[in-house]
Copies of this chain bind each other. A is one copy, B any other.
């Protein structure tokens, strides 16, 4: 989730059913943040070791400089990651998990591990699904009337 700015959902929580309500709402708000794809990966990398900006840029292939910066800012604001600037000539900035971030480490690790362990299962499931359903779901329709003139 790249906007560390709060999301403001003014929904109808008052009339919700008993079991899952207020707490789930707030949890969902946080989940939106920690569940972000880049956040999880960055968190995972920082779980391994303290890292510098460029180091993360290399270790998380595919992330852009801007998105990494924004992601780190968000994690820092949420108190999961700390940023330490060493006032030396070429700037040197270290990122590491805070104690709060450490409490997430195991969960994030198991999430990432699960993903790697079940890549093939998911591939097979998708293949099978697409086979019996004639392709992936919800195709954006044929682009023959592709009028995007703006």
Surface stretch bound by B, among A86-94, A118-126, A142-150:
A118-126
Which of B10, B100, B104, B123 lies in contact with A125, CB distance below 8 A? Answer: B100
Q: Which of the listed residues A5, A36, A126 has the most CB atoms from chain B within 10 Å of its own CB? A: A5
Find residues 42-65 in chain A having any chain B CB closer than 8 Å to their own CB: 45, 48, 58-62
Residue of B nearest to A135 (CB): B5
Which of B73, B107, B115, B130 lies in contact with A110, CB distance below 8 A? Answer: B107
Find residues 6-43 in chain A having any chain B CB closer than 8 Å to their own CB: 6-13, 16-17, 19-21, 23-28, 30-32, 34-37, 40-41
- Do A59 and B119 touch (CB < 8 A)? no
- Do A119 and B30 touch (CB < 8 A)? yes
